[in-house]
Amino acid sequence: MGASDRMGVGIIGCGNISTQYLKAMADFPVLEIVGIADMRPEVAEKKAEEFGLTAMSVDELLASDKVQIVVNLTIPRAHVEVGLRALAAGKHVYGEKPLGISFAEGKQLLDAADKAGLRIGSAPDTFLGGSHQHARALLDSGEVGTIVGGTAFMGAPGHERWHPDPAFYYDIGGGPVLDMGPYYVTDLINLLGPVKRVMAMSAMPHTRREILSEPKKGEMMDVKVATHVAGLLEFVSGAIIQMTMSFDVPAHMHVPYELYGTKKSLLVPDPNMFGGDVKTKPAGAEEWTVATHAEPYADANYRSLGVADMAAAIIEGRPHRASGALALHALEVMEALETASTESRPVEITTPVERPAPLSESLRDGKLA
């Protein structure tokens, strides 16, 4: 692979998720990491030493002619601010989820990119994982029939049990919908297409929560967002999905997705992961059948697959899959869950989006078809 077949990447934000990105980027020769930066220089220097990279200040990274794509791994409340700075510096931007903490913010970012002739990409890219792509293939083939309904469920007792600094999960811009919802909503759009209308109810059973993980164990956090949200998503296709996102569930036995087709029911694995079992079962069958497949990116954590696809798409002059339009549609749906709940009314979704193209070929050979 020559230099013209690679894109220079600069990473801003060296928190927990950056390790997963840096490990996965080694699998994609289309990406060349130029440098990493963080508002805390010592954190960037430590991460650079760990991975044999160059630590820079944010200003140095944005000024570098070698950086073509900025990967924005900052906290959610900084996503749009940092993204706008990168666009102003002439860089394409790929950000962690969510695109922004409000629809208006996210639209501002996309409008700025359109004006500058630059691209926006956004996590999650787990819908490109082999298991989710195989579920998509089963739906596209007609084997499952037309999806009538289904459930999407994420329930946990809260991130304060494991995260070293969990307060931002309960601040404005946090909560289960903006934190975990992007995985579920984005994959549902990948599987079923755009959302038409949303209804919801929500609860906030605790106004303060105790941190149970080190190093801040015992400290108290204020809760400023709903931590249990139950909604109904009506898709343009006609499918109706019951969706629950919660940080208030001690334990449960739900699978991440159940989709009910006119021919078969389909179980889809955790959209926070790239792999997992895809299962089908027609009416009258005694057992679920595991749908075996050969799609790539189902055997490990490939966070940055969306960055690699975006880089390849820029080189090849085609649309990228984990796009800003996809992320904005998902963000509008997630914001609509809050609006529908607080205003006790259904909310129509206005942003157009097309299902991203299925992933048909591995990037290990430098291509993504």
Amino acid identity of 213? S
pLDDT tens-digit map of 337-367: 999 999 999 999 999 999 999 987 667 665 6
Statement to judge: residues 284 and 312 lie in one domain: no
Statement to judge: residues 173 and 315 lie in one domain: no
Contact predicate 91/120, CB 8 Å: no
Which pair of structure tokens corresponds to residue 299?
């055997």
Statement to judge: residues 276 and 196 lie in one domain: yes
Residue 205 pLDDT greater than 80, yes or no: yes
Statement to judge: residues 122 and 147 lie in one domain: no
Residue 80 domain boundaries: 3-126+302-348
pLDDT tens-digit map of 208-254: 999 999 999 999 999 999 999 999 999 999 999 999 999 999 999 99
In a domain, 94, yes or no: yes
Contact predicate 14/43, CB 8 Å: yes
CATH of the domain at 201: 3.30.360.10
> Cα separation of 9 and 132, whole Å?
27
For 265, 267, 279, 290, the CA distances from 287, given in Å and listed in that order, are: 12, 13, 10, 10
In a domain, 62, yes or no: yes
Statement to judge: residues 175 and 283 lie in one domain: yes
Mean pLDDT of 132-155: 97
In a domain, 359, yes or no: no
In a domain, 284, yes or no: yes
Which pair of structure tokens corresponds to residue 267?
């179980």
In a domain, 369, yes or no: no
In a domain, 362, yes or no: no
Statement to judge: residues 26 and 159 lie in one domain: no
pLDDT tens-digit map of 45-71: 999 999 999 999 999 999 999 999 999
In a domain, 38, yes or no: yes
In a domain, 296, yes or no: no
Statement to judge: residues 11 and 91 lie in one domain: yes
Structural domain count, the chain:
2
Statement to judge: residues 208 and 72 lie in one domain: no
Residue 106 pLDDT greater than 60, yes or no: yes
Statement to judge: residues 80 and 111 lie in one domain: yes
Statement to judge: residues 140 and 112 lie in one domain: no
pTM of the entire predicted model: 0.95
> Cα separation of 87 and 62, whole Å?
9
| pLDDT score, position 173 | 86
Residue among 72, 179, 129, 68 nearest 299 (CA): 129
| pLDDT score, position 366 | 59
Statement to judge: residues 211 and 263 lie in one domain: yes
CATH of the domain at 41: 3.40.50.720
Statement to judge: residues 116 and 14 lie in one domain: yes
